[in-house]
Structures are given as structure tokens and as C-alpha cells.
Amino acid sequence: MALRKYKPVTAGTRWRIGNAYAEVTTSQPEKSLLEPLSGTGGRNAQGRRAMRYIGGGNKKMYRIIDFKRDKKNIPATVKTIEYDPNRSAFIALLSYADGEKRYIIAPQGLQVGATVVSGDAVAPEVGNALVLKNMPLGTVVHNIELQPGRGGAIARSAGTYAQLSNKEEKYAVLKMPSGELRKVLITCMATVGTVSNSDHALQSMGKAGRNRWKGIRPRNRGVAMNPVDHPMGGGEGRSSGGHPRSRTGKYAKGLKTRKQKGSDKLIIQRSNGKKL
């Protein structure tokens, strides 16, 4: 993927580093795979503001993505690589041999005209989806299922991947994007390759208005508020505001906030290197 650095002809382009979209081949999405998507403005079902700093932004349509890859043993040809406003990764339009069209998350290196296929024991090539037990050790995968048949849930954003490091009787051991070692059922499916648009994190908006186009409103710092508005507000002059915490008083640094989950027993090693 290539980045584009703009000449400083305006104040907004001075610091802007954008995507060159070298991999994208068309700007027209497949109409049959679009759904309307309405913004909430941060409001809940009662119309009250539940999330701050959300609102506005350009209108966009949702692209229906095939996370399950359940159309097995039918080859598909890659027709286009497209931009998706709803995610950081690019998407690929597949045209199956029986005429059906589906979107998938585009892996890095997938070219227009390539053939991909999903199945329990297909070749472990880029873009192909198969169960973990039939993959060789060391395979780089994305769009990984946590429960068989439920669809990919792990490693779906730009540039992410997991690596198959071991296979046991019932579980496969994956090294996650965070460095965590986790067991996943060996019958779960995953797609071979790294997710496209790996330089996504290196982009720079350049001006506040580009975030407004994305529906992100200005965020106010807690230390700049009054004591009635935030636990870190108030004080004389530029005071620090005390221990960093959220608007509701929960500590932002040092406090463990992750709840106990049933899948915790499948985690072998945390991303910080601690073994469970």
C-alpha cells in the first residue's frame, strides 16, 4: 500500500498524509450488496444523548461482507478491490462460478482476476478460507472464527493477522495481533493472508474538518471542564486535575476493567507476556 503526502498549498494539506488508494480499482460499489445505514448522533432509543462527540458526517451505505465464507468448494474470481467507508481494510468483490456476488475483506496482495475458494481442505493460498486443522504451522491468517459457523471475528481490521503456532487434539494455538497466545477450536475457519491497507495507521487527517466528515465531533478535555462536569475539572490555573479517570470516576490508568469471561481459560499467555 502507498501513502500520499500532500503539498502544503493550504493549511489543511500541510500535515495531511492520505491514502493513495493504489490497490483500489473502482469507486462504484455493487448495488445488490448495499444496505442503508443511518447515523445515531450518539442518541439511544429514547432520543437522549448516550455517547458524546458523535454527530454529522457524510452519508454512507453499508457493504454486506461475507465473514462466514460458507459457499464452499465453488471457485470465485476477484472482480474489484474497493474502499469501504465502514472499516479500515479494503474489500474485494467476488464473482462465483454460479453467478452469485459477495464481498470479502481483501487480504494483502490479492489481485483482480485471481481465483479464491473456501472449503474444509482447500490449498492454503492467499484469499482462500479453510479450517485451521488443515493449515500448516506458521500460516498467517485473518478473519478467524471463535465458534465454528458463526463467522470471522478476529483480525479483521487493516494490517492485522494472527499466526498458527501449534495444533493440538481439539484446539489450534494462535499468536494474536496483540501478542496474546490463544486457543481456538481446530474446526474454526480462517482466511489465509494479512488484511490489506497495512499503512492505515500512518495516515494524518491534516485538519479537524476531515474528522467532522467522519462523524466525529470535537472532544473536550476533562481538565478543561468545571468540577460539576468532570472529576478532573476545576482548580486554580492549569492544574493537573488529579488521577486520570473517566467522566464517571473510573480510573483510566492502572485499573483492570476486563470482566471475567468464559473464554479466559483458552488464553495461554497475555499480550504483556504473563502466563495464566
**To which residue does cell 462536569 refer?**
229
CATH number for the domain spanning 98: value is 2.40.50.140
* Measured distance CA(141)–CA(148) in Å, rounded: 16
Q: Which three cell numbers stand for residue 118?
A: 473456501
pLDDT at 254: 86
Which DSSP state fits 251?
A: B
Which DSSP state fits 208?
A: H
163 and 238 assigned to the same domain = no
- Residue 159 near residue 197, CB atoms below 8 Å: yes
Instruction: Residue 182: count other Cβ atoms within 10 Å of its Cβ.
Output: 21
pLDDT at 57: 95
| Residue 190 is assigned to a structural domain of this protein | yes
CATH number for the domain spanning 258: value is 4.10.950.10
pLDDT at 109: 94
| Residue 41 is assigned to a structural domain of this protein | yes
Phi-psi region of 275 (alpha: psi -120 to 50; beta: other; left: phi over 0): beta
97 and 145 assigned to the same domain = yes
88 and 153 assigned to the same domain = yes
262 and 176 assigned to the same domain = no
- Tens of pLDDT, residue by residue, the chain (276 residues): 589 999 999 999 999 999 999 999 999 999 999 999 999 999 999 999 999 999 999 999 999 999 999 999 999 999 999 999 999 999 999 999 999 999 999 999 999 999 999 998 899 999 999 999 999 999 999 999 999 999 999 999 999 999 999 999 899 999 998 899 999 999 999 999 999 999 999 999 999 999 999 999 999 999 999 999 999 999 998 888 889 999 999 999 988 888 888 888 899 998 877 776
89 and 136 assigned to the same domain = yes
Q: For 145-167, b where at least 16 C-beta lie within 10 A, e where not — what string?
A: beeeeeebebbbebbbbbebeeb
Number of structural domains the chain divides into:
2
85 and 18 assigned to the same domain = yes
72 and 155 assigned to the same domain = yes
| Residue 161 is assigned to a structural domain of this protein | yes
Among 169, 201, 233, residue at a domain's last position = 201
Question: Whole domain around residue 233: which residue ranges?
Answer: 220-276
| Residue 214 is assigned to a structural domain of this protein | no
Strand ranges in 64-161 using DSSP code E only, listed in sequence order: 76-82, 91-96, 101-105, 115-116, 129-131, 140-142, 144-145, 152-154
| Residue 71 is assigned to a structural domain of this protein | yes
| Residue 215 is assigned to a structural domain of this protein | no
